[in-house]
Structure 1
Amino acid sequence: MFVFRHRLAGGDVRWVEVYSSPVTIQGQPILFSIIHDITERKRAEEALKEAYNSLEEKVKERTAELEKAYILLKESEEGLAEAQQMAHLGNWDWIIITNEMYWSDEIYRIFGRTPQEFGATYYGFLDYVYPEDRYYVNNAVKEALKGKTYSVDYRIIMANGEERIVHEQAEVIFDKKNSPVRMKGTVQDITERKQVEDELKRTGEELKKRNKEIVSERQRLYNVLETLPVAIVLLTPDHHITFAKRVFCDKFGEIDEQHCYDFCFGITRPCEFCEAFKVLETGKPHHWEASPIIGKPLCLTEVCWTYMTFLSEMLMVHSRFLRWTLILPREKKQKKPLQKWNRCA
């Protein structure tokens, strides 16, 4: 997952969040991504960060001016609460010595609780953590009190029984004797993000599975084509050779997905006389004749074949067209003059 800014055609700059996963389609690696516009969330997070930092600085600098500090604090708290609600992110403060805990309004919303329900203690908080995750969370807190980083994802149970997933990170404040006296941090509801990540993972696994099936089916097709008593070449609409029977390779050499005109004649553009792609215009078999530079004249039959991969179904793109070229020796008597392949050599 990564986040970056993106400039729109109109000049507006938006923040986007991208979840990506590598998958392999027909032997080729591709990157499958899901993109979310998180501009409003980024703005809310920046507003939250600025408001919180401002609050801390004002409390430190104006402790003596109680009345003025109180007014500023209330204003900052209101702005902080609004920003937290927009970002689904709340802050908390735990005074370790007295075991008192403060939750912002947004945390109550995330946990689906009210201030009256919450015991305002660390153990009261643990009661809302999913039972199977309590040991993990409690152990992470213990490690943080020893000086380690605290950043965890865990499940919670809301008052209505709904299960949600949150991300929590915090820092521990130590006194001069290096004893922990305070721990403060943030909680963010990441349920939807986790669902997207899980769906992306499932999609990636399905892509790999279906790709294996496609590769297997394609190989079975190639095996069948090898048994036919004619020379067959399989081309894409952009003239790439994707398959050729062994008799073709024995005559012209091994293929490596070259263009047919480059492979056969060493030129950089399609042959002017080629009639092969008429089959794509009509959708019907097309018969034509040609004479190679070396060897006997040939009769060629073009057949249009379409197929759609699993990925093309998912992405709603058009089917690919593949051309079957059946190459047969031409009979001695011909009714039509032959096209000469050596014109493009």
Structure 2
Amino acid sequence: MAADAGNGRFFTVDPLTSASFGGRISLAETSTLDSAVCALESSPALLVQALYDAGGLLYLSGLNEISTEPGLLTRLSHLFGPEVEDYEQTLTERSKIHPECPQILQITNMPPSCQMPPVPPDPPLTAAGGLPVKFPHRRGWHTDQSFRRPPPDISLFYAVIPSPPGQGQTLYADAAGAYDALPADLKATVEALEGIHAIPGIGRAEYAVKAGETPKPLLPHQWPQRQPVVRTHPVTGRRSLYLCEAGQMDWIDGPFVGMEPGPEGDGAKLLYELMMHITQPKFTYVHEWSQGDLLIWDNRNLLHCATWYDAQNHQRLMWRTTTRGNPGELYSGEGRSWLPEDDARPMTGL
């Protein structure tokens, strides 16, 4: 990774020291963040290329101005794709949408949204005393909105009020590096395989099927969607494993097309094997959040995972945007599976 990315005029980038992928961006000195964003907008391809060169993950710190000027986040988001999702148009609950910028999803335990974090893993630490990252000890690994066709490209995640140190970390896994390291026989197994991805909270996740829950009736824009298990990046050409684990796959008809379905089927065994491979510590990065941090990642070749924080005693407010526009040739000419009809209504889990 070049240390003088952007020719040094707009930013420099250095490798993340605690991971085999990812880059830390240092913006050139300007009077305001607005000036820095204007400079990036004048040559938008530079930051995008830095993302690809870094394996799909960029980290910027000290961007505190975004918390009072949320439009800066949407402007940065537009550098990475022609479209930034407007959550008002996709039936997202109003309480989760930023009141001034409908392109910003608010992820917080604060009213009126009151979203709770995932439960901590059991046991809370590894045998060596570290933070668990490997599935199934660590649950919740996914890629954003994989239950849509075409799925999104890039996500941006910003810390307005982070959780306390040592809590609420976000974990990332390099699914391209994991694919490269697959044994030849497993590569052959997954080559033409499709996964069935489902919206969380509709009764089709592993835990729901095991508990005997009745799946919810779905409108067309909520139906599970097939995605290739091996996905080729439309820009870099690298192949990666495009998967989620238990909560975002369809465990009634899947998790894989053409394999024995359900939690006890052959498909479940394969998914567990693949997820355990992808989430090995050598393929992961753990981000400890500070106020003003911004992480940018490529959903086409990275997985990520939220972690527990003490939501009873600490407030946390994070902003997320999602861009789309280049899912790859596989999706060429497709309509958007996830656009609701005029009379559709929001549902829990979206």
- Give the TM-score normalised by the residue count of structure 1: 0.21
Q: Which has the higher strand share?
A: 1
Q: Which has the higher helix share?
A: 1
Q: Which structure has the larger Rg over C-alpha atoms?
A: 1
